[in-house]
Amino acid sequence: MSIETIGSAVDECVYVSSDDPLTRPLFAELEEEYDTRYGDMLDEPASVELNRYPHSAFERPEGAFLLILRSGEPVAGGGYMRHSTDTAELKRIWTHHAHRQQGLAQRVVRELEAEATRAGYRHLYLTTGPLQPEAQHLYLRLGYEPLYDLNDPPTEVGLHAFRKSLRSRT
């Protein structure tokens, strides 16, 4: 756990179960955002995707789920789960709509990278959707390698997959 003071607010990184009551705002806002952004483009409602993996997939030692709490309230979070023997997959990276553009998503990703490294993973993998350019820019800025041609139209690519080696962080 780490604690950082932002102005008069206190930010605290905590690891929780993905079904902890503190995660409810994260999942509710992700569901609304996915349904709003993608509408009929997806074959299923966002709630199906958000419930695709059991909470146990995000439990240690193979996974982890992080929240950043500001003055006790969740403002950002996300987790990782096992993708393969040496690769973890980032999932559910989120920042509350009222707290965006403050570097919180970057902080979540960096903390999850460090935790995955401590857990023995050597690589990270993730996917994001074609209508989430801010997420794509975040991962590129953080050194993730796109597994698709950046020149292709986003909706033709479909899921935008990325990977990153953690070896240099050990």
For 44-87, write each residue's pLDDT tens digit. 777 778 888 999 999 999 999 999 999 999 999 999 999 999 99
Smallest CA-to-CA distance from 115 within 72, 53, 67 is with 67
Domains and CATH numbers, the chain: 2-169 (3.40.630.30)
Find all residues with CB under 8 Å of 129, minimum gap 6, and list them.
34, 37, 38, 135, 159, 160
Find all residues with CB under 8 Å of 138, minimum gap 6, and list them.
105, 106, 109
The predicted pLDDT at position 73 comes to: 94
Report pLDDT digits (tens) over 103-132: 999 999 999 999 999 999 999 999 998 989
Is residue 13 within 8 Å of 1, Cβ to Cβ?
A: yes
Radius of gyration of the chain, Cα coordinates, nearest whole angstrom: 16
Assess whether pLDDT exceeds 60 at residue 170. Answer: no
More confident position, 2 or 93: 93
